[in-house]
Each structure stands twice: as C-alpha cells, then as structure tokens.
Amino acid sequence: MLFHVQMDVNLPSDLPADVAGEIKAREKVYSQALQKSGKWRHIWRLVGEYANYSIFDVESNAELHDILTGLPLFPYMKISVTPLCRHPSSIRDDDV
C-alpha cells in the first residue's frame, strides 16, 4: 500500500540544542534504515520549511502507524496521511 505523508516538525524553542541534535541523529538512522528496506520509498524536503513529503510502501495502515509513531521526532510533528493507488495512465511498473 502506498501512502503520501506530509510531516511538519515543530521543535520547542526551549529544547536544548544537544537534546535536539540527539533526537535528529536518531531520526536520521531510523529513517535511512526504513529507506534501505524499501518501506520509505521517497523523501523530499519542502523548501524554506522544516517539513517533508514522503512516500511509504507498507503492508497496512497499522504498519504505517507503527512506523510513524516510532519516529524520534514524532512528538514534535504534525502528520497528514493520504492513501495512494496506481494511476491507470502511469507508465511505471513499480507503482503498485
């Protein structure tokens, strides 16, 4: 199942820099492992924002929920999820 996910991050201004840095480092390791597994297919930064658009390829809504709530930055995120399906005009075979 493919999902478009928008993640907007809002770290508190009073969060110590070392704590924020440690959370971001764990987030990078976690997200890159998911990308290597194929679950997190694409990630794009939104210019001028602390936000991203991502495409996930997972087995179920529950799996996506578990992945998203496992993000170290999850407590500081507003997340919007949109299910996707293959467009009949797509020429890509991997858009399942």
The model's pLDDT over 42-71, given as tens digits with 9 standing for 90+, comes to: 999 999 999 999 999 999 999 999 999 999
Q: Which phi and psi angles does 87 have, rounded to 5°?
A: -85, 135
Question: In the prediction, which pLDDT does 96 show?
Answer: 64
Q: Class for domain 2-84, per CATH?
A: alpha beta
Locate the domains of the chain by residue range.
2-84
The pLDDT, as a whole number, for residue 93 is 78
Among the listed residues 11, 43, 16, the one whose alpha carbon sits nearest the alpha carbon of residue 30: 43
Residue given tokens 């293959």 in the structure block: 86
